[in-house]
Every structure is written in C-alpha cells, then in structure tokens.
Amino acid sequence: MHMTLAAAEALVIDALKRSGVEEGNARSVARALVAAEAAGQGGHGLRRVLAYAAQARSGKVDGIAKPVVFQPFPSIIQIDACHGYAYPAFDLAVPLLSETARKQGIGLAAIRRSHHAGVLALTVERFAEAGLVALMVANATASMAAWGGRKPVFGTNPIAFAAPVPGDDPIVIDLALSRVARGKIMAARQKGASIPSDWALDRDGQPTTDAVAALEGTMVPSGEAKGAALAMMVEILAAPLAGANFSFESTSLFDDKGTAPGLGQTLIVINPEASGGSFAVSRLGELAAQISSDPGVRLPGRRGQSARKYALEHGIEVEDDVIDAILAI
C-alpha cells in the first residue's frame, strides 16, 4: 500500500493507543518508526509495531512512562526512561544536551532503563543540523558472542556519529557492530525468507541461511575480532556507565515475554567552536568537499537522507501484510 508519512504515523499512533500507550509517547514512537521506514531501514520501521504494541499490553514496556532528567554535573545529563520507549527519552535529550554543549563546550547524556534505540542516525543527525558534532552508542539484547565464543554476550551494539557540513546535509555514520543489523534477520523471519550465510551462526556455531536458526544463535561481528572488541567498548559506554542492564541481562526486544529490557544509550555532543575554534565547521566542509570530489564516492548518510526527502514528497510503500497486522492489533 502507498501511504503518506502522515498517514503512516497516524496508523502507528492509533495501534499504540489501542495498546494502552499514552498519546505523546505514541507520537514520539511513530515519528521514529516512520522515519526509519522512510530512510529504507525497514527492520527498525513499521515491522516493529507488533512487538512494541504487544510489549505495552503485557507491561514489558510502560506505555505511559515519562522520562525523568537529573543533572549531577554541568556537562552531564542522566535520563531515566522509566522502562518506557527510548524515543521520548531521545526527544527530551536533544534540546537539553544541545544547550549543555553550547554552554559547556561538550555534553554527555546517559540514558538508562530504556528500550529499542532504533536508527541512531536519526538522533545524531538532529544535533548536526544544529551545528554540533554528536556520537551515540547503544546496547541491545545479547545476540553476539565475544570473539571465539558461542555464548551471546553483546548486542549488535550500534554506534553512530554526525557532523555538520556548511550549506549541505550533515555527514552521518551509523553502523551495527554485527555484520548486519539484527532487524534485517527479524524482517527475513517475518517474510519467511532466507538470509546470506555470512550474517549469523546457529546454536552450534555453524553458518546458517535460516533466519529462525540465526535468531536462536549468534550474529557474526563486523570485522571479526575488531568488531567484537568495538562491541565491548559500546557495551561499557552504554550499560555500566549509563546505569543500565548489560546486553546479557536484557530480555528480547522482539516478544512480550519477561521483564523490561532496561537497556542503555549514551550520547556525547561537542560544540565544534569550543574545541576547534570559529573555523572548525568550515574545515569540516573542506573535508566533505575533498571526499566528494572523488568520482563515485558518496558521503556517509546521503542515501538515507535522499530516501527520506523522497518519502516526504512522494510517500512510502508498505507491505500489505504489515498494514493488515497493525490494523488487527
């Protein structure tokens, strides 16, 4: 079905409200999921609505929770998501952390008792559009073993970065530290499709093309041992330093069983004028121009930005089975 972004957001809001989610929270979640869909990140888009709604009905996520802010130091913000969705906490963090970074030169937000972080690019890009540089990490339910192991310890543990470019869209880097985001395997399972054999291992540590076996096994880290080491780094930044659960302590984001996931996200935002002087942003523009001058090279983030601009004007295509399932909630 072809839908405008507004119609898609209304579809999600209605489904979440029917599941007991407070309207403001439902709007925050809907904006994030539809933006992910528009950016071509379907694994973090409308296919998540079924799990999100089921978790609200079961109490695994608190649909009426409002995030609470503490500021123990001038440059540090702590946000307790109160076992609600992550997106209302992000919406709260963006203006507070932007103001902090402008005043202090740098700001850090640690978010605890949180939920699925979705497409991190969509959050860090908001800072870059305001002329700030942002780095964000998040842990997720354990799905990846330490290098050489078979026991899931880390999540796919994404990391994202954004920097402003004068007169142009920001540079945005967003990557999971597994070879692919786990949401792609979830989407394959929902469609009954196979996956490439280098995405995941089954319970016995063997490569698999079966999405179900992959979800029961472990993800393959990007860059092998290097990716696993980076996943550990993200785990430290997002879990103990934020006061959140470790990935191996968290419950699944794909079902309504068990307790709240209690995940963590950490944001570090820098005022480039404070660190590099008044010419810092223009220098970023010089780097972007140098990279772009090489034929065939595209700056990170451009594909998603172009897709979202197109979707804003022309709408999105959503699979009929996804819309039917959402309407049936």
What would the pLDDT profile of 201-226 be if each residue is shown by its tens digit?
988 888 999 999 998 889 899 888 99
What's the CA gap between 120 and 32, in Å, rounded?
Answer: 10
Of 142, 157, 115, nearest to 217 (Cα)?
A: 142
Which residues partner with 152 through β-bridges? 145
Alpha-carbon distance of 162 to 17, in angstroms, equals: 33
- Give the integer Cα–Cα distance in Å for 205 and 23: 44
Domains, the chain, with CATH or none: 1-177+220-273+303-326 (3.30.1370.60)
298 vs 296: CA distance, rounded Å: 7
301 close to 169: Cβ distance less than 8 angstroms: yes
pLDDT for position 95: 98
Using CA atoms, how far apart are residues 133 and 281, in angstroms rounded to an integer?
10
Within 8 A by CB and 6+ apart from 169, the residues are: 301, 302, 305
73 CB-near residues (< 8 Å, 6+ apart): none
Which pTM value belongs to this model?
Answer: 0.93
Q: Tell me the helices (H) and strands (E) count for the chain, helix number first.
A: 12, 13
Q: Which stretches of the chain score pLDDT less than 50?
A: none
Residues 102, 113: Cα–Cα separation, whole Å:
27
